[in-house]
Every structure is written in structure tokens, then in C-alpha cells.
Structure 1
Amino acid sequence: MIERITFDFQNEIEQLKEFFGFDYVAIALVQSPERRFELKWTFVTGNRSERYRRIKLQSGKGVAGLVFKTGKPMYVGDAESELMGPDHFNYPIVIAEGLKSFGAIPLYKYNRVKGVLLVGYRKKSGLTPLQFEEFKQQIGPRFGPFYNKEMVTDESDE
């Protein structure tokens, strides 16, 4: 008999929010290839409204789409000065939730980005580069069935 272990993403993001004092924590997961690898915010805590449910992103669009496409973390210390302008509507989660500073990391599974973990504050400069690095270290090399490639070391490098 194979024992199936399920990971409670909602509980985990609520704990992250509490531990770090974030205003908002969310996970966007990649939908099926038939949907052209569309990303949807699936698990959320600290949300102001249910608008996140209607946000669907393609690779390269929005916070989740950019992190998904590049496979690299994204840090924005001041969303008003760094993102706002003619293309600020390309970041619907930032607008919908009023995020002023945030960071997002890719979540890998089988060497492919399968999700994005977003953390943020509704106050300017709430998330500093040092805090974002500390967050990435604290969540460790594994987040449920996912991992952050930056955290995984290749044994041949040692």
C-alpha cells in the first residue's frame, strides 16, 4: 500500500504570513498544457477581495508570468516607482491587492517551474532585499512537493 502524503498549502502560506508578518501571501500554480500553461492564483491569504480568482496569466505576463518564464526570483521594493506607468496594468495582482513591496520565487518540480510563491506588503519599502533573502533561506530547499532551484545544490559542485 502506498501512503499518499498531502501538503496543506493554505496552512503553510498562513504560517508564512504569520511568521514574517507579511500582509499578503499567495501561490500561483500552472494549469494544464491545454490551457497554454496559464497561471492562476490558487492559494491566498491576507487578500482584500476575491478579485485574485479572476486573474489568469500567460507566461511572461504579470508577476507570476514573469517568474514562471524566467525561473528566477523577482523583488520589487517600491511598486509605485518600479512598476507604475503605462504598463502598470500588466501586474493585476499588485493592483488588486494594493501591494507596495513584494517578492516572488519560482517553485520547481521535476526541473520545471510549476508555481510561483508571492509575498508582499501594502506599505512602501515593507520588504527589503535583506528580508527577501532571509525569507528565501527560511523556507528552505523544499516547499511541499516543490523546491526553489537556488536552494538546491548539485553534489558535483562540492
Structure 2
Amino acid sequence: MNEEMKFNYQHKLEQLKEYFGFDFVGLALVQPAENQFSLKWEYSVGNISNRYKKVTLQSGKGVAGTVFKTGKAMLVQEVEELYGKSDLFTYPIVVAENIKSFGAIPLYKYNRVKGVLLVGYREEKRMTCEEFERLNIEIGPRFGPFYNKEMVKH
């Protein structure tokens, strides 16, 4: 059994939700190349519906697609203030789960983004810089078969 199969993502997401008190925790994974590097929300905890399962994103689209494309973490303390109500449709997970404040972290494997971890709240300004930093420390350098920072090549 490979390392990815052994790691229980659902359990880890449940632990993160409980430890931090997040309203929503989701994990989007990169789909095989024949799907043109799309991302799909595979796991979640605290979801208010199963609509997240239908969300598939291309590189650069939505929260997961943006984090995938840039390889950089994203912290949004006030969704509507940053994106405005009219642009929210381009962030389907935010709309589907009524997320108002969130952080998203790229997860790497073999120096490529292979997943995106999204944690959020359903009220504005709940995700702070300090809490986002604590999350990075809590998940540590590894999240199952992934690591949360791009490895530096020497």
C-alpha cells in the first residue's frame, strides 16, 4: 500500500477542525494529467451540503486553482470585502460553503503542488494571521505524503 493510501485524510481534517474550531476544512487534490491538471475537492469536514463534491477547478480558477497555480498560501480575512459580491461566483467552494474568512495552503509532492488544504469560517475576520501561522506549524512540514512548503533545490 502506498503512502497516500495509508494516510487517513478525513481523520486528519476532522482533527484540524476540532483543534482550531474551523467551520469548514477541505482538501482538493490534483486530478491526473488527462484531466488537464484540474483540482477536485475530495475530502471535507463541516460542509453544509455535498455541492463541494461537484466543484472541479482548472489551474488559476477559484481558491484551489489559484493556490495551485501560484504555489503560495492564501489568507482572506473578509471574503466580500476582497472579492465583492459580484465576483464570488468565481470561488464556488466559498459560495457553496458560505465561507467568509479562510486560509488555503498548497501541498507539495515531488516539488509540484498536488493538493490544496482550505480551512475557513462562516463569519468575517475569524481567520487571523496568527491563527494561519499556527495552522502552518500544526500541520508541520508534512501532511501525509505531502509537504507544505516547496523544497529548495541546491
Q: Provide TM-score, normalisation by structure 2.
A: 0.94
1:94 corresponds to which residue? Answer: 94
Range moving further from structure 2, 134-143 or 81-90: 81-90
Match of residue 131 from structure 2: 131
1:27 pairs with 2:64: no
SS of 1:84's equivalent in the other structure is helix
In structure 2, C-alpha distance between the alignment counterparts of 1:4 and 1:129, rounded to whole Å: 35
Deviation of 1:124 after TM superposition, in Å, equals 1.0
State the number of aligned residues: 152
CA separation in 2, counterparts of 1:118 and 1:132? 11
2:13 corresponds to which letter in structure 1? I
The code of the aligned residue for 2:35 comes to: R
1:1-158 aligned at under 5 Å gives the runs 4-5=2-3, 6-149=6-149
Tell me the CA shift for residue 85 of structure 1: 3.7
Label 1:4 to 1:86 Cα distance change in 2 as closer, same or farther (>3 A): closer
Q: Which runs of 5+ in 2 are unaligned?
A: none
* Partner deviation per Cα, 1:63-85 (whole Å, 9 max, x = no partner): 00000000000000001111224
Q: Secondary structure at the match of 1:87?
A: helix
Q: Secondary structure at the match of 1:125?
A: coil
Pair member with larger Rg: 1
> Alpha carbons of 1:9 and 1:96: their partners in 2 closer, same or farther (altered >3 Å)?
same
1:4 CA displacement: 4.6
Q: Distance in 2 between matches of 1:69 and 1:12?
A: 25
Q: Please give the secondary structure, in 1, of the residue aligned with 2:117.
A: strand
1:129 Cα deviation from its structure 2 partner: 1.1
Ranges of 4+ aligned residues in structure 1 off by more than 4 Å:
none
For residues 2 and 96 of structure 2, the distance between their equivalents in structure 1, rounded to whole angstroms, comes to 36
Over the residues paired in the alignment, what is the CA RMSD in angstroms?
Answer: 1.5
Q: C-alpha separation between the residues in 2 aligned to 1:123 and 1:4?
A: 38
Q: Deviations over 1:94-130 (max 9, x none)?
A: 0000001000000000000000000000011111111
Aligned-residue offset at 1:155: 9.6
Q: Per-residue deviation at 1:149? A: 1.2
TM-score (norm 1): 0.91
Give 3-state SS (helix, strand or coil) of 1:115's partner.
strand
